[in-house]
Structure 1
Amino acid sequence: MKIAVIGAGLIGQAWALVFARAGCEVRLWDGDAAALARSRVLVGELAAELAGSGLVRNAGELVARVATCARLEDALGGVDYVQENLPEVLALKREIFARMDAIAPAAAVLASSTSSIPASAFTEELAGRARCLVAHPVNPPYLIPVVEVCGAPWTGSDTIDRCQALMLAIGQKPVHVRKELEGFILNRLQGALLREAFRLVEQGYVDADGLDTTVRDGLGLRWSFIGPFETIDLNAPGGLADYCGRYGGLYQSIAKEQTSTEPWSPELVARLHAERRALLPAEALGERRTWRDRRLMALALHKQAAGKETT
């Protein structure tokens, strides 16, 4: 299968790895020639990291499947699927989708990695709008497989089906977001948890490290292999309905305190930032990100070995 990856930043490089790892022929394009040249080197470095962790067998073969294209026409010619990764700017999305719709083969699916802009906002005027949708990855997608697939009201059902089938074929985990909404699913769940986390710190119940410990060594351990619905299904003798009967009142009472929509205050942000910098100096952020990615690689290997299908 021939894939065009449009935009050679971090997400574009990551998508190139995902598709190449699955044996696809990948064409990578960016309007910035210097960024495009750098991307080739960075894809090679990432492939070497994956090979060193045992997640791919041959980094050289993977990189050989990724070609960089100086012209958009060369990247899009004859492709089956397009993954766009330009910055989160509506005008840029509209412009690039208009160009892609005019150039790409009529049968090619056109997908955006946007994490916040609905497909309807940048595809409505396109002749080929039925083949356009959002395929939002979790960063980095070569280690975290969930992809949120969300069409506009006019996206064809066959487009959704083809995108989901491709994601499954390349080892990702597509989730069909059935109606457009801001932030899709993952960021809305993350946002709800963050809002309560900020509130608990602001009101003096816990500090930043204690909050992170609660998630990292509590909720996160279960959530790394089962989701919240399966969690409560397993946490009561009679399953989910039994759990809701036992604890529904508690959560309803808690929810009455979780109604604030105020922005995070600058003072609270500064306080949490200071707590994080006391735990991890700014100069160590890069090293810690590398550590995080290596732990994700180890977790991915563990899940492969366990053969556990996650939701």
Structure 2
Amino acid sequence: MNIAIVGSGLVGQAWAIVFARGGHRVKMWDGDPSAVGQAARLIEKQVSDLRAAGLIEDAAGLISRISGCASLEEVMSGADYVQESLPERLEMKKEIFARMDALAPPTTILASSTSSIPASAFTEDLAGRARCLIAHPVNPPYLVPVVEICGAPWTDAKVIQQTWDVMEGVGQKPVKIHRELKGFVLNRLQGALLREAFRLVEQGYVDAEGLDVTVREGLGLRWSFMGPFETIDLNAPEGLADYARRFNDMYQTIATEQTSTEPWSEAVIEKLEAQRRSILPKEKLLERRLWRDRRLMALAAHKKSAE
């Protein structure tokens, strides 16, 4: 299969690795002429790390399947599937999808990596709108495999199924979002947790590190291999319904304190920023991101060995 990556930033680079690792030919393009070359160098480093972690064997073969293009016309030529990963700006999405729709062969699937914008917001006026949808990853998708697949009201069901098949074929874990909603499912769940986390710090119940320890050494350990519904299903003698009936009143009481929709205040943002910078100076952020990716590689290797 011929894959086109439109946008060669961090997400585009990661998608290139996913598809090339899955055996597909990948072409990349970016509006910045120098970005594709920079992306190629970063991809080589990421692939080298994957090889060192034992997650791939033929690093050279993977790299050889990725190439850069000088124009949008070139990257779209002969593409079977397109993954757009440009910045999160609606007008930019509208413009690039209009151009891609005009250039792509009629059977080409046009997918966006957007993390919050529904496909209907930028595909409604396109002649080929039925082949447009969202395939929202978690960064980096070559280490975190879930992909949220969400069509617009007019997306062809066959396109959704084909995208699901493409994702399964390259080792991702697709999830179908049945109706459009802003932020899809993953970011809404993350947003709910973040809102409560900010509130607990703002009101003085815990500091940034204490909150992170609670998730990292508590909830996160179970969530690395099971979701919240399976978690509660196993946390009561008779399963999920038993848990819900035991703890419904407690959660209802807590929920009455979680009804605020106020934005995060500058005061709490500054408070958390100061706490995080005391733990991790800004100049060490990149080093820590690379550490995170190595830990994710180790976790991926562990989960692969347990399959």
Give the TM-score band, short-chain normalised. over 0.9
Give a deviation string over 1:86-106, Cα, whole Å, max 9, x none. 111111111111111111111
Aligned residue for 1:271? 271
CA distance in 2, matches of 1:111, 1:6: 10
Shift of the alpha carbon at 1:59? 1.4
> CA offsets per residue over residues 104-156 of structure 1, 9 Å max, x none?
11111100000111100110011100000010000000000010101111001
TM-score (structure 1 length as normaliser) = 0.97
Matching residue's letter, 1:92 = M
CA distance in 1, matches of 2:201, 2:87: 32
**Letter paired with 2:69:** C
Alignment of 1:86-125 (within 5 A): 86-125=86-125
CA–CA distance in structure 2, aligned partners of residues 153 and 145 of structure 1: 26
Deviation at 1:2, TM superposition (A): 0.8
The aligned residue for residue 28 of structure 2 is 28
What SS does the corresponding residue of 1:88 show, helix, strand or coil? coil
> Identical aligned pairs, as a percentage?
64
CA distance in 2, matches of 1:262, 1:71: 44
Cα deviation for residue 42 of structure 1 reads 1.3
Deviation per residue, 1:25-84 (Å, 9 max, x gap): 001111211111211111111111111111111211111000111121221111210000
| 1:282 maps onto 2:282 in alignment | yes
Runs of 4+ in 1 over 4 A off after TM superposition: none
Aligned with 1:46: secondary structure? Answer: helix
Write the mapping of 1:208-219 to structure 2, written as runs, cut at 5 A. 208-219=208-219
Aligned to 1:42: 42
What is the CA deviation profile of residues 250-274 of structure 1, one whole-angstrom value per residue up to 9, with x for unaligned ones?
Answer: 1011100000111111111111111
Tell me how far apart the structure 1 counterparts of residues 100 and 270 of structure 2 sit (CA, whole Å): 43
Partners of 1:11 and 1:284 in 2: CA distance: 21
For residues 92 and 261 of structure 1, the distance between their equivalents in structure 2, rounded to whole angstroms, comes to: 29
Return the offset for 1:202: 1.1
Q: Which residue of 2 aligns with 1:132?
A: 132
Structure 2 distance, partners of 1:92, 1:140, is: 22
Name 2:296's counterpart in structure 1. Answer: 296
**TM superposition shift of 1:161:** 0.4
The aligned counterpart of 1:236 is 236
One-letter amino acid of the counterpart of residue 297, structure 2: M
Distance 1:127 1:65 in 2: 31
Task: Show structure 2 runs of 5+ residues with no match.
Answer: none
Tell me the distance in 2 between the aligned counterparts of 1:56 and 1:34. Answer: 28
Compute the RMSD of aligned alpha carbons. 0.7
Quote the offset at 1:286 in angstroms. 1.3
What residue number does 1:10 align with? 10
Partners of 2:219 and 2:6 in 1: CA distance: 36
Provide Cα deviations, 1:202-224, integer angstroms capped at 9, x if missing partner: 11111111110000000000000
Q: Partners in 2 of 1:71 and 1:199 — Cα distance?
A: 47
Matched to 2:88, the amino acid is E
| CA shift for structure 1 position 7 | 0.7
Paired with 2:94 and 2:282, the residues of 1 have a C-alpha distance of: 37
- Corresponding residue number in structure 2 for 1:198: 198
- Specify the SS of the correspondent of 1:14: helix
The number of residues matched between the two structures is: 307
Aligned partner of 1:296: which letter?
A: L
TM-score normalized by structure 2?
0.99
Structure 2 match to 1:65: 65
